Structure formats: C-alpha cells, structure tokens
Amino acid sequence: MKRLLLQIFAWLAILVGAGLMLQPTVSQYLTRRKSTAAVETFVQSAAESAAVAADDPTAENTRPYADLYDALQAYNVEIYAAGQSGLKDPFAYETPAFDLTAYGLPDDMIAALWVPRLDLDLPVYLGASTENMARGGALLGQTSMPLGGANTNTVIAAHRGYYGAEMLRNVQQIQIGDKITLTTPWETLTYRVCELKIIQPDDINAILIQPGRDLLTLTTCHPYTQNTQRYLVIAERDPDAAPATHEEDLAECAGSWDAAPRQVTVESPDGTAAVEEIAPESISPLPNEGSGEDAGGAYSNWMIWLENNALWAGIVLIAAVVGCGLILRRHRKD
C-alpha cells in the first residue's frame, strides 16, 4: 500500500512539474491570442463599416457610426471647455462616458492600440473598470476620446503585466521617437513618443489636455508590479506618418533600438522634478516583489516569476521526485 501511495505521489509530482514548465507558455499564448483576435476583429469590422458607409448613396454622412463620431467629438470639446473638472472624482476613471452598443458597436471596445517597441497589440475599452483592465487597455473617463485633433489627450491605462498577459510590463523599453498607433472605427492615428514621466497616482495635472496639442498618453503602475507611482508614455500626433505594416514597424524599432538608460522625468509630491535613468532591460522579478499592487497582486507576481523560472522549477521538482524514488528504492534493497 505504501509503495502504491509513493508511486501515486511521484506521478502527481511529475505532472505538477510538467505543468509548471508548460503553464507560462500556454498562458502567454492564450492571452496573446485572445487580445490579437479582439484587435483583428475590431480592425476588420471598422474597415467593413467604412466600406458600407462609403457605398451608401442615401447617406448624408459617409463616415461609419456617424452619430457616435459626432457625440465623441462633442464630448472632447465639452471636457476641454470645462477644464476636465470631472477628473477630480476618482470614479470618473472607471465610468465609461458612452454606451457604445447603443450606437451599433458590438461591445465597449473603442480602439486598437499597437506599440511596435513592445510588439504589443492591445484592445482598448471605455472606462478603467476592473473588467476592462483585465481584458486590455482602458481609456480613462474625462479624457479625450480617440479622434485626434487639437486640444486632445487620449489617456489609456493598462496593467504592467497581468495573469500571464504582458500588457505594459516592459514599458521601460519604450524610447523617445517610438511610434504608437491607435486604430478606431474611423481611422488609424499615428503618434511619436515625445516624453517619459513618473508621477504620483493622484497627479491629475500630468494627464490633462494641453492647449493646441494632439496627444496620446499611456499610463501603468511603477515600480514594476507595485502601485505607488505611475509611469507615463506621452506621444504626440505625427501628421506626416505613412501607413505601415506591423513587420515594417518592427523593423524600424529594431534599427532604432537604443540600449542606453531612458531619461525619465520624475515628479515628486512636493512639486519638484528630477531626471532619473531607467534601464531598458527586460524585468525578471521575484515572486515577493510588488506585493503592494492592488490589481493582480501576489498571484500576478507568481505568474511573472513562473514565466522566467518555470522550466528550472519543473526540472528541479521532477529531479527531486526521481532522486527520492531512487533513494527509497535503494533503502528497501538494503
């Protein structure tokens, strides 16, 4: 009976070890495939809607989802005129400004974000709710809808790694001059990174609309897997950008890679600012790092640790089981 139990335990341990080795790969594959599928479906649907609207001879406006576009445009004008006063309410970040399904869209996905430096396609949803943040990027309420134009700043928040999904985990690799695109049901907007910042979580001024400018801001937690600061990537519209494929964008990133530390402006609670050098190397944290992060928390950290160490952890576990089995077998013979 003891021998049978030992064999069962050994096989279970081997299965656990194999699972440890396979889990990160499977998890990354599934989450990446899900995000990519959402983006591809959105982009294809946007193209089809544009074609249908253009071919409709009875339509006064050939722009797809014309009513939604007009409503978003009016919203952008309204929040700028009001000085984005609603940002003082923390719930403004989470509350979507529009019900997109009422305008004919299938869900609350408003755009597709492409960050070539990170080889990252990310669906963008309205409102930074827990559900939306788990699915991709979230457009913060009381910031500009993704239409571009003067006096706009579209602010998108995403986790810095979440349950096997990379998201903005390696945001520190983004450098000045990098290209970022935002595809909406109407067009693809191209931006170039112009500034990198680290701010306090309650620093609303850092994400406000800047008069006359057309901006896109990405925000995520900093330090990695913690929630004490925010890392901002600020990009400005590139009106002269030519359409490019993902492969062309990736080739551009490879040719422009700068291994030097990023010069990041760090704004302190007392209002002072200093420049900090942030290394661009990929991060491989230990499981106890970032235990203060609200969303994702320790489980997310374990997932990140597994991604970097699962192969060795699995091999060690299997080797330990085999070694124990050999020792017990020899002990019985003696």
Predicted pLDDT of residue 67 = 93
Task: List, by residue number, the catalytic residues.
Answer: 159, 221
> What is residue 255's predicted lDDT score, i.e. its pLDDT?
97
Residue 305, sorted as left (phi over 0), alpha (psi -120 to 50) or beta, turns out to be: alpha
> Under 8 Å CB-to-CB from 332, ≥6 apart: which residues?
none
Tokens in use for 229? Answer: 């600061």
Cα separation, 191 vs 181, in Å, equals 6
Most confident option among 70-79, 95-104, 154-163, 308-317: 70-79
Position 57 pLDDT exceeds 90: no
Average pLDDT value over all residues in the chain: 80
Taking only the tens place, the pLDDT of each residue in 246-256 is: 999 999 999 99
**Top mean-pLDDT range of 21-35, 51-65, 228-242:** 228-242
CATH superfamily entry for domain 65-309: Sortase (2.40.260.10)
What is the reported pLDDT for 289?
34
Q: What is the pLDDT of residues 203-221, one digit of tens each?
A: 889 999 999 999 999 999 8
Segment 91-102 shows an average pLDDT of 82
Contact criterion met (CB below 8 Å) for 189 and 181: yes
As beta bridge partners, residue 131 has none
Question: For 255-295, what is each residue's pLDDT tens digit?
Answer: 999 999 999 999 988 888 999 999 999 875 434 333 344 43
> How high is the pLDDT of residue 291?
39
Residue ranges of domains in the chain: 65-309
Query: What average pLDDT does this structure show over 152-175?
Result: 88
What value does the mean pLDDT take over residues 158-168?
80
- Residue among 240, 229, 253 at smallest CA distance from 174: 253
Residues 6+ apart with CB under 8 A from 174: 115, 117, 118, 193, 196, 233, 262
DSSP notation for 238-282: -TTPPP--HHHHHHHHHHH---SPEEEEEE-TTS-EEEEEE--SP
Q: Is residue 172 a contact partner of residue 197, using CB atoms and an 8 Å limit?
A: no
Task: Judge whether residue 25 has pLDDT over 60.
Answer: no
Q: What is the mean pLDDT of residues 47-75?
A: 75
Residue 313: pLDDT band (50, 70, 90) is low
Structure tokens at 144: 């500009």
How remote is the C-alpha of 166 from its chain's centroid?
A: 7
Q: Rounded to two decimals, what is the model's pTM?
A: 0.78
Q: What confidence score (pLDDT) does residue 328 get? A: 63
**What is the pLDDT, as a whole number, of residue 40?**
74
Q: Which long-range contacts does 187-190 make (Cβ < 8 Å, 24+ apart)?
A: 187/148, 188/243, 189/146, 189/148, 189/216, 189/237, 190/237, 190/238, 190/241
pLDDT tens profile 139-152: 998 999 999 999 99
65: helix, coil or strand? coil
Taking every pair of Cα atoms in the chain, the longest distance, rounded to a whole number of angstroms, is 93
